[in-house]
Amino acid sequence: MPDSATAQGLRNEPLLVVEGLKTHFKLPLGMVKAVDGVDLTVDRGRTIGIVGESGSGKTVLARTIMRLNLGANVFTEGSVRYAGVDLLDVPNKKMREYWGAEMSMVFQDPMTSLNPVVRIGRQITEHLRHHLGLSKEEAKETALALLKEVRIPEAEARLSAYPHQLSGGMRQRVCIAIAIACGPRLLFADEPTTALDVTVQHQIMNVLAREQRERDMGMVLVTHDLGVVAGRTDDIAVMYAGKIVERASTKALFDDVKHPYTEALLRSIPRTSHLSHTRLAAIVGRPPDLINPPAGCSFSPRCAYAQDICFSEEPVLQEASPNHEFSCHFPVGSEPNREAFEKNVAKAMPQAVSIRRHEESLAQLGGEI
Amino acid sequence: MQKLIAARLLRAVATLFAVSVLTFFMVDLLPGDLGDILIPAEQQNDRAIVEQLREELGLNDPAFVRYGNWLKDAVTGDLGESAITRQPVSTLLSQRLPITLQLTLFAIGFALIFAVPLGIISAYRQGRFSDRAISGGLQLGLSIPNFVVGVFLIWFFAERLGWLPATGWTRLTESVSGNVKGVILPAVSLALVDMAVFSRLIRADMISTLQENYVLSAKAKGMSDRFILARHALRPSSLSLITVVGLNIGSLLGGTVVIEQLFAMGGIGRALIDAITKRDYVVIQGLTVFIATVYVFINMTVDFIYIAVDPRIRSGRT
Ligand SMILES: Nc1ncnc2c1ncn2[C@@H]1O[C@H](COP(=O)(O)OP(=O)(O)OP(=O)(O)O)[C@@H](O)[C@H]1O
Ligand code: SF4
Ligand SMILES: [Mg+2]
């Protein structure tokens, strides 16, 4: 659509290349560094998970890439190349040709992301007609097909329903239908299931995954729950305080965790096998202040392995293997890491002690079984 | 849905009843009554004559009997007649209402035509120059009394330019253009304040609507700002406007004494003032009940418009 660059596709370039992306918000108290130097690549037809706690900057990152940051107090830096075009240079008006048509987003809360006073039908057809120039009837037929595709029962009747007449899961299906309607090549899903019941979460994730596969879309799946992305992404980027602290193929990340923060996130995934027996190991402390981030490693105030160097020197991204990067002075699994841990336990550092206890309780449980 | 409408209708009837009781007894509480005006001053001291007349008029009956009689007539449209001119109140209404009604509709119409776009632009450009210019202009409009505006308009458009008549009202049946020309200046004088109020309402509601997630979703679909404002944001932003428009229609229909006076138009407002100064109790009662009834009907209409605008109300969720 926009420009021949997309049409030709620059075949061997990835769909999306983000480099040195920064998004800062100016507040009276100072600059909120919500996204602070992110590099990211999404290949055609692949799914990347962006994982991090609440407040780590995932939403801001996704919206900055899509150029959906509203507000006059935003400062953005870096580059976002979509099919060869730097979106940060695209004028606002022109972005409308990308939104919905080339890239679209499924938002977190299906309760509020549909207009309560507009019928479902119009909400699915309006951009079909706008982008693809379909007639009313064609658009309606397409909408019907889409609703069936995302497995909405009685699709025909739903077209004339209002959002409040649908359950949360059904609404999120509608949102997915809306997002994929014009055949985008890049789909963002920003915590698409957090607002939903656990039983519905899996169904929605399945719908998303199937659409992604069948339509061969690139997908960016944002979540705070590593468990959600586990089997559903090709790659995972772990975000902390506006930075990506570890990135790897999903398998490599689960098999060979390097960053202590990723390890902590993994530890907090409930495992059905001993869910009822042990408390989850919650990450000690709060996410950092984004206006005045800690010196050195931003995770240092909460890290169980932190040593003096962590409080003064910021670790840079380094490769563990060709498709696995992390930024840490004492990577998990290394000898220095074990030594650092023992030192911290000896010093009775709370986060280190809490992990020791957690390990002990797991070991005990293993003994009982 | 039908239950909802039935409930609203029932409420309207109940309110009307309460209103009629209140107005009847409140006017009844005013010092003096018909006897005082109907009997010539020189006969006021003649107890026999006074008593006879009071008896004939039913003024000595207990209040609730008088109310019953009055209500019986009122529901058939007979609001009694003026003690002074002998003109039935319903005739008075049929003469005065068209003037007031037309003035009201034109004033509200003018106000809305300008207020809605201005409010939308203000909200869309919140804090920018156009917003501040619009808000400043409207603030000015809000602070000038409507008769001052009227005087200025008469001076400029009637006296200087001679485009529009300064005073008077022409029946629609006599001359359409004459009728419309006559109503423009008084309607604009009335519209200015409403325009400012309406525009502020739209602006405030629109600003909060524009923060809604569904507005962002529409944007993420590639819809233009204009489309989003008109087709997504306007409807949910219009509920408080609808309420206030209803209230203002009611108060305008209740009469706009100063403007009617200034433009020499005999509307409901003038009729009511005349009746009050002459202590024409029957007319006061009749007009008051009429105005109250208008309010009740407008409120009901507002409720129905709410139902039409917001489907969530329709399914009884709110
Ligand atoms: N418009 C804004 N102005 C100032 N600060 C903002 C703005 N938008 C976001 N932030 C801040 O940026 C940080 C990152 O927010 P973001 O919403 O991206 O987090 P998140 O990782 O998506 O978290 P969650 O899981 O809660 O959605 C937060 O501290 C937030 O307060
Ligand atoms: S070990 Fe040091 S560098 Fe690594 S995460 Fe912990 S604090 Fe940061
Ligand atoms: Mg978020």
Buried residues in B77-111 as b, exposed as e (16+ CB within 10 A) = eebbbbbeeeebbbebbeebbbbbbbbbebbbebb
What DSSP letter does each residue of A245-293 carry, written as one string?
A: EEEEEHHHHHHS--SHHHHHHHHTS--GGGTTTS---PPPS-PPPSSSP
Which of A104, A117, A162 is the closest to B236 by Cβ? Answer: A117
Are the C-beta atoms of A235 and A278 separated by less than 8 Å? no
* Sheet of strand A47-51: strand arrangement: A103-106, A186-190, A218-223, A47-51, A235-240, A243-249, A324-326, A318-321
**Where along chain A do its domains lie?**
103-183, 256-365
> Nearest CA to CA, how far is B118 from chain A (Å)?
22
Please tell me the pTM assigned to this model: 0.86
Chain B, residues 190-229, CB within 8 A of chain A, namely: 212-214, 216-224, 227
Handedness of CA B164, B165, B167, B171 (dihedral sign): negative
Smallest CA-to-CA distance from B256 within B242, B275, B271 is with B271
For residue A113, give the nearest of B214, B310, B311 by CB distance.
B214
In angstroms, the CA A365 to CA B217 distance is 47
Locus of tokens 């290949």: A43
Chain B interface includes A112 (CB < 8 A): yes
Query: Is A140's Cβ below 8 Å from some Cβ in B?
Result: no
What residue of A is the nearest CA neighbor of B233?
A115
Which secondary structure element, helix H or strand E, spans residue A30, and what is its range? strand A30-42
pLDDT digits (tens, 9 = 90+) for B206-256: 999 999 999 999 999 999 999 999 999 999 999 999 999 999 998 898 878
Of A96, A117, A165, the CB nearest to B224: A96
CB of A66 within 8 Å of a chain B CB? The answer is yes
Query: Contact A20/A39 with Cβ under 8 angstroms?
Result: yes
Q: Which residue of B has its CA nearest to A71?
A: B211
CA distance A199 to chain B (A): 25
Q: Is A42 in the pocket of ligand 2 (CB under 6 A)?
A: no
pLDDT by residue, tens only, chain A of 369 residues: 454 445 445 556 899 999 999 999 999 999 999 999 999 999 999 999 999 999 999 999 999 999 997 678 999 999 999 988 999 999 989 999 999 999 999 998 998 999 999 999 999 999 999 999 999 999 999 999 999 999 999 999 999 999 999 999 999 999 999 999 999 999 999 999 988 888 888 899 999 999 999 999 999 999 988 888 888 999 999 999 999 999 999 999 999 999 999 999 988 776 555 444 444 556 777 888 899 989 999 999 999 999 999 999 999 999 999 989 999 999 999 999 999 999 999 999 988 998 888 888 878 776 655
Measure CB to CB from residue B220 to each of A104, A130, A162 and give the nearest one.
A104
Bridge-based pairing state of the strands A74-82 and A16-27? antiparallel
Which positions in chain A touch B232 (Cβ < 8 Å)? Answer: 115, 118
Nearest to A178 among B219, B221, B232 (CB): B221
Give yes or no for residue A315 CB within 6 A of ligand 2: yes
Q: Which helix (H) or strand (E) holds A176?
A: helix A168-180
- Is B125 part of the contact surface with chain A (CB cutoff 8 Å)? no
Decide: residue A335, CB within 10 A, 0-12 exposed, 13-18 middle, 19+ buried.
exposed
Taking CA–CA distances from A177, the nearest residue in chain B reads B221
| Token pair in block for residue B231 | 């087709």
Pairing status of strand A218-223 against strand A47-51? parallel
Handedness of CA A139, A141, A142, A144 (dihedral sign): positive
The reply to whether residue A112 touches residue B311, judged by beta carbons under 8 angstroms, is: no
Identify the CA nearest to B285 among candidates B12, B13, B33, B52.
Answer: B33
Q: Which residues of B touch A97 (CB under 8 A)?
A: 222
Predicted pLDDT at A248 = 96
Fold classification of B89-314 (topology level): MetI-like fold (1.10.3720)
Upper half-sphere CA count for residue A16 (Cβ side, 13 Å): 29
Q: Which atom of ligand 2 is least distant from the CA of A311?
A: 7
Pocket test for ligand 2, best of A240, A258, A303, A318 (most atoms within 8 A of CB): A303
In sequence order, what are the beta bridge partners of A326? A246, A318
Looking at residue A86, its amino acid is D
Of B234, B225, B227, nearest to B207 by C-alpha is B234
Calpha distance B318→B315 (Å, rounded): 8
A210-263 confidence digits (pLDDT tens): 999 999 999 999 998 888 888 899 999 999 999 999 999 999 999 999 999 999
| ipTM tops the 0.95 cut | no
Residues of B in contact with A115 (CB under 8 A): 214, 217-218, 232, 236
Ligand at shortest distance from the CA of A23: 1
Any idea which residue has 């003649």 for tokens? B46
DSSP A317: P
3-state secondary structure of A306: coil
A297 CB near ligand 2 (under 6 Å): yes
Planar angle of CA B142, B148, B151, nearest 5 degrees: 140
A 158-197: CB under 8 A from B: 162, 164-165, 175, 178, 182
- Kindly determine whether residue B218 and residue A101, on different chains, have CB atoms separated by under 8 Å: no
User: CA of B217 to nearest chain A CA: how many angstroms apart?
Assistant: 6
